[in-house]
Structure 1
Amino acid sequence: MKNNEILDRTRTMVIDSIAQNMILYGITPSAGRLYGLLFYSDKPLTLDEMKEELGMSKTSMSNSVRSLLDLNMVEKVWVKGERKDLYTIKEDWYQCFFDFFTIKWRSAITTNSSTMEKSIAQLKELIADPMTSEETRESALLDIQKLEDRIDYYDWQNRLIDSFETKDILNFIPIEKKEE
């Protein structure tokens, strides 16, 4: 096997692996292949270049780029004399992880907390209603306790996310490995 074939095969293996794991990020494997392509590219690429290399439709390519931009995993770059938009990956993988983690988790926490707080308010109204049976009132009180406990958990998650945004987490888990 020729050296360049080995090089291509190892790159394909990594790109395929990245593509499969992009599901964890809530994006499609095709966006993962695009990310892998940009990872190995020695220069920023246009949508047309990426489309040609991956054989994806322009719409699919645009959607994939937009998903990666929204997660702060790629960025649009300017190159003198180039009229078309160019894209490259963000090289700081740690910051990409922080951005992804904070964007996705903060959104989920906000949605869940808001729903639970509305539920608690409705349950309190139910408890206060003189027509509510004692059995229903007791169930509502138990539900309120469960929801308040979960909201406390979300508060902890928000503080964890804050530590990613401020990078305080790095005081506990530094990027560089400690010498043993």
Structure 2
Amino acid sequence: MTSSDKLHEAEAKIAEAKDIVTNSISETLDHYGIAPSIGRLYGTLYFEDKALTLDEMKEELGMSKPSMSTGVRKLQDIKMVHKVWQRGTRKDLYKAEKNFFKSFIQFFCIRWEREVEENFEAIEHSEKQLLEVINDEELPQHIREEAEKCYQQIHESRAYYQWLDKLVESFRSGEIFSYIPMEKEEK
């Protein structure tokens, strides 16, 4: 085998390894509601050493510029991609967050915080309405009992959302890592 053949074979192996991991990232993000194309975009940025413009990403992935822009915005929202500034460049540049621990924390904390907030609002609103029914002595007893039963079920769900809120705080503060340490994989 010539050195040129060996070089081409090595380049093909590198490209295949990147494709395998990019596809895996894409499938994983799909499990969490992120479109596969956005997952491939993240995977592509993950393997780049330099920040890329939307045009460069478009070239690499063959996606339309509006799709690319939407994908980058989604990745920015979940803190997996950051806009970076480079002297002398007018176009926006983007770079992937390569620390998976940080990405995990950002991604899940954002979603869990949204879940806690939405559900606490729903619980408070529902409890208020149910208390009005429970306390209305003009209503039949069976209706008031139904409201009381429903109120108790809803009220008991608060414990879960309080726990989830504490879990988010343990991730944000880093306390979780005293129980489950971050360990780097040895080569």
Instruction: Report the Cα offset of residue 83 of structure 1.
Output: 1.6
The residue type paired with residue 93 of structure 2 is: L
| Structure 1: runs of 5 or more not aligned | none
Count of aligned residue pairs for this structure pair: 177
Instruction: Report the Cα offset of residue 91 of structure 1.
Output: 2.5
Tell me the TM-score normalized by structure 2.
Answer: 0.89
1:9 is matched with: 16
Report matched runs for 1:31-180 at 5 Å. 31-176=38-183
Instruction: Report the Cα offset of residue 92 of structure 1.
Output: 2.2
The residue type paired with residue 22 of structure 2 is: I
Range with greater deviation from structure 2 (151-160 or 16-25)? 16-25
Instruction: Report the Cα offset of residue 164 of structure 1.
Output: 0.8
Range with greater deviation from structure 2 (6-15 or 162-171)? 6-15
In structure 2, C-alpha distance between the alignment counterparts of 1:154 and 1:56, rounded to whole Å: 40
In structure 2, C-alpha distance between the alignment counterparts of 1:90 and 1:5, rounded to whole Å: 25
Cα deviations across residues 1-28 of structure 1 (Å, max 9, x unaligned)? Answer: 8222222122111111111211234321
Range with greater deviation from structure 2 (21-30 or 154-163)? 21-30
In structure 1, C-alpha distance between the alignment counterparts of 2:171 and 2:35, rounded to whole Å: 25
In structure 1, C-alpha distance between the alignment counterparts of 2:19 and 2:151, rounded to whole Å: 51
| Structure 2: runs of 5 or more not aligned | 1-7
Range with greater deviation from structure 2 (151-160 or 92-101)? 92-101
Range with greater deviation from structure 2 (2-11 or 146-155)? 2-11
Range with greater deviation from structure 2 (103-112 or 76-85)? 76-85
The residue type paired with residue 93 of structure 1 is: F
In structure 2, C-alpha distance between the alignment counterparts of 1:144 and 1:109, rounded to whole Å: 18
